[in-house]
Structure 1
Amino acid sequence: MRTMSHEDYLDTRRFPGLDGLRALAATMVVFYHFGGPNWTWLSGWVGVYLFFVLSGFLITTLLLREQDRTGGISLSNFYLRRVFRILPPYLVILGGIVAFVVLRGEFHERGFPLALKFYLTFLNEFLPSFADGRADNFFSGSWTLGIEEKFYLVWPFLLVAVGIGAARRKLLLISAAMVTLLALVPLTSGGWVLGDSRVAIYRSSIHYFILAGGCLLAILLHYRRGYALLKPLTHPLAAIPVVAAFGLLNTNLDGLWTQTRQNLLLLVAYAVLTMLLLVVLVSPGPLRWLFGTTPLRFVGERSYSLYLLQGPVHFVVVQAVPGLAPHRTVSAVTVFLVGLAIADLIHRWVEKPLIDVGKGLIARQEARRAERGADRRPAEPRTGPTPVVF
């Protein structure tokens, strides 16, 4: 057993262990919403923060490796990838929900004339909660998409701006920009100490802090000096203390949340432990193998649609089997399995085909640029292929 070299990390095209982490995050969220009191120990509501750290890490890794490969970052390519990755499942699921409530004559009752203004502009987290007296519109969980999309309207531009300097100065410049970004978070927060409220947190800027943490991890791992700081965690035995610490916090977060009222410290600690867990999962070892197994990868690759589907699937399941209305283990398992089956169809017939369309558009765009001779900059020496994180 040994640590992973920086060269081996840069040569890694895909991180299969991260698919398993996506699967864990989606499962936690479903069981938090529908599993009842037997699953409160899992603190499943924090599963969204696993998604945030993962998203920041993967997106930034893709951009940094593109910069190494081509000498620059194409913002148009980035946004084409995001559009064809995010929008098709999102719009298909939202459209299905709208069609469903229209057929039931509940379009106005469930507040969709107002809700669509938020959902179609990715201002999801600012939509007044259905808990305020409105009927559930089955799509309130999409608030996390509003957070991510606004973050990625800003972050790639910042990365391009600070990445112009000499290669040996890039880590310093990018890290300084990241520290500045994180330092501004408390000034814009909707409230750090949130007591027992899980609704008030929707509008808190802590989410941007956690997304930025994933970005910072990608920067540290990409450059040799930063990687040297984290290299000890790539040893297989490092997984033991990291997983133990993460599991201990994850399973006790609900109690600590209400007892200590140190919500800021708890969420920051959770983000940091998730970052360390990502280092373990991209490194060779038993944990990466476990999280990269076929069943976990299957769920992880469909986790985006599964996450968005959980609300409408629960409603339909309860309509079909009223006995599943109480939140308990069998209810959560049923919602998970039915949601996963539908997510698989969306993955096969919508998500993957449209991702391929996006890749085709990017390839044709690059070919036209090459023909026009628009990009004559010599590519920097490449240490490894770009990862498949589309």
Structure 2
Amino acid sequence: MSGSRPRLPGLDLLRAIAVLWTMQFHSFVVGGLGPDWSWLSRYGWMGVDLFFVLSGYLIGGQLLRPLAQGTAPSLRTFYLKRVFRILPAFWAVLAIYLLWPGFREAPGMEPWWKFALFIVNVSIDYGSNSAFSHAWSLCVEEHFYLLFPALALLLSRRPSSTRFWAACIAILLGGIAIRTTVWLHFDALQPPRNWFVEDIYYPTWSRLDGLLMGVMLAAWQAWRPQSWARAAAHANLFALLGVAVLVLAFWLFRDRVGLLANSIGWPVLSLALALLVFAGAQPRGALGARAVPGAGWIAAISYSLYLVHKPVYGVVQAHWGSVLEGSGILAWLAYGAASIAAAALLYYAVERPFLKLRGSFLRGYYARPHTPAVAGIPPAGNNSPATLRSDALEAGLTGYGPDEATRNR
């Protein structure tokens, strides 16, 4: 199955950039590369938004491709894939956080049940409980997995470009309105608390722009394949345009907590990243033509790397911080190498075995007859073209197995 579609090394590269860029941003907690290199990490938080666009495109495509062909995707299969993909590594890291306080990058941590229910992003005292707070982005994606299938199935009952665009515009304008309202209400005169993080940056309803842009890419590819193919011939132009719009986003976010950034900055940033994802998905463009050595492996472990890099920073600093202090790039390399080693351990000990188990489980499921998931829409068969294309696409991302697309954190 994995040989039925060419690899997409451009998306591997973007995923690797996303996680390394995020790591660079979080390295500020241990001094990073020092003040002379602060420009390199200033916008590193945008790596999470790149993950969101990738997830919207890849995960959204799993549901939209069969719907575009008039067949109902198996929601059971969809959710089984997500469970096996996300929960084992997440639960393993959460258990370490709970059982080993020294693993925490900060003293305080929200109750375990907020993480287990994936609601920590909408209920957190960031000033007191910032340990494992980077799980906020997993919460956003979990909410996306829960709500998007229902919306996709609803819109597909009576397919209409007008309804689709109306939904997209409503989500886009709704996000702008929510962030603007919060910004105007919580200003510097409010009682001291991190209102930007707690009320704008973390909550799901404020962070749908990247996922939306990714879903729009998936919808374009699924419902307008000829238009997609014509645009693919200009992949390099899309990449250049993406870089230009990204520069505009840098300018809008020069004051990260400012009104301009938090009103229109997020959709502009997401548009820039969507243009780059489109370019990366084209094997004939410069971004996606050739695999960059090591990028595929970093992409494969990126979920584990996202989960463990912050606590590993803290562990290294606690035990060897005094030795590494003032070492500049050597300290930066030491923190990074330790994080990658821990991520590789998590990937090979937890993620990969459960992905293999998932493959065995789903092969057994595919061997059984399926029933229609939605009235009026025939089901996608065990080996339907929609199913094969969806699995082959994600297999091409890492060259390891079906649905191997690593996630955003």
What TM-score do the two structures reach when normalised by structure 1? 0.81
Please report how far the alpha carbon of residue 262 of structure 1 lies from its aligned counterpart in structure 2 after TM superposition: 3.8
Q: Larger relative CO (CA 8 A, sep 6+): 1 or 2?
A: 1
Deviation string, structure 1 residues 110-158 (Cα, Å, up to 9, x no partner)? 445x42121111012134344x245x53x11111111110121110111
Residues 242, 273 of structure 2: 8 Å contact kept: no
1:191 to 166, 177, 182: 182
Distance 2:305 2:54 in 1: 17
Residues 162, 177 of structure 1: 8 Å contact kept: no
Distance 2:252 2:333 in 1: 23
Residues 28, 45 of structure 1: 8 Å contact kept: yes
Distance 1:243 1:80 in 2: 34
1:120 to 116, 122, 125: 116
Please report how far the alpha carbon of residue 321 of structure 1 lies from its aligned counterpart in structure 2 after TM superposition: 1.2
Q: 4+ residue runs of structure 1 moved beyond 6 angstroms? A: 193-197, 372-376
Q: Which residue pairs with 2:353 in the alignment?
A: 353
Distance 2:339 2:311 in 1: 9
Q: Which residue pairs with 2:389 in the alignment?
A: 385
Residues 84, 358 of structure 2: 8 Å contact kept: yes
Distance 2:146 2:14 in 1: 25
Q: Which residue pairs with 1:53 in the alignment?
A: 53
Q: Which residue pairs with 2:267 in the alignment?
A: 268
Counterpart mapping for 1:238-387 below 5 A: 238-239=237-238, 241-246=240-245, 248-249=247-248, 252=251, 254-255=253-254, 257=256, 261-283=260-282, 284-289=284-289, 292-323=291-322, 324=324, 329-369=329-369, 377=378, 382=385, 385-386=389-390, 387=392
* Higher deviation after alignment, 147-156 or 118-127: 118-127
Q: Which residue pairs with 1:146 in the alignment?
A: 139
- The aligned amino acid for 1:270 is L
Q: Which residue pairs with 2:214 in the alignment?
A: 214
Distance 1:250 1:182 in 2: 16
- The aligned amino acid for 1:207 is R
Counterpart mapping for 1:56-71 below 5 A: 56-67=56-67, 71=71
Distance 1:122 1:192 in 2: 25
Please report how far the alpha carbon of residue 213 of structure 1 lies from its aligned counterpart in structure 2 after TM superposition: 1.7
- Counting matched residue pairs gives 366
- The aligned amino acid for 2:389 is P
Distance 1:54 1:95, change over 3 A: same
Distance 2:115 2:366 in 1: 32
Distance 1:13 1:176 in 2: 34
Please report how far the alpha carbon of residue 50 of structure 1 lies from its aligned counterpart in structure 2 after TM superposition: 0.6
Residues 253, 265 of structure 2: 8 Å contact kept: no
Q: Which residue pairs with 1:26 in the alignment?
A: 19
Is residue 15 of structure 1 aligned with residue 20 of structure 2? no
Distance 1:359 1:49, change over 3 A: same
Distance 2:238 2:327 in 1: 34
Q: Which residue pairs with 1:5 in the alignment?
A: none
- The aligned amino acid for 2:117 is T
Please report how far the alpha carbon of residue 217 of structure 1 lies from its aligned counterpart in structure 2 after TM superposition: 1.5
Q: Which residue pairs with 1:4 in the alignment?
A: none
Q: Which residue pairs with 2:399 in the alignment?
A: none
* Higher deviation after alignment, 342-351 or 212-221: 342-351
Q: Which residue pairs with 1:86 in the alignment?
A: 86
Residues 213, 271 of structure 1: 8 Å contact kept: yes
Distance 1:326 1:153, change over 3 A: farther
Distance 1:258 1:59, change over 3 A: closer
Deviation string, structure 1 residues 360-389 (Cα, Å, up to 9, x no partner)? 32332232225x999994769948823432
Distance 2:393 2:141 in 1: 20
SS at match of 1:363: helix
Distance 1:345 1:373, change over 3 A: same
Please report how far the alpha carbon of residue 13 of structure 1 lies from its aligned counterpart in structure 2 after TM superposition: 5.6
Residues 308, 339 of structure 2: 8 Å contact kept: yes
* Higher deviation after alignment, 373-382 or 260-269: 373-382
SS at match of 2:289: helix
Q: Which residue pairs with 1:3 in the alignment?
A: none
Distance 1:158 1:240, change over 3 A: closer
Distance 1:154 1:258, change over 3 A: closer
Deviation string, structure 1 residues 196-236 (Cα, Å, up to 9, x no partner)? 975242236231232122111110122227x6278435424
Distance 1:266 1:251, change over 3 A: closer
SS at match of 1:286: coil
Distance 1:327 1:305 in 2: 27
Gaps of 5+ in 2: 189-193, 395-402, 404-409
Distance 1:45 1:237, change over 3 A: closer
Distance 2:83 2:385 in 1: 27
What TM-score do the two structures reach when normalised by structure 2? 0.77
SS at match of 1:65: helix
Residues 177, 263 of structure 2: 8 Å contact kept: no
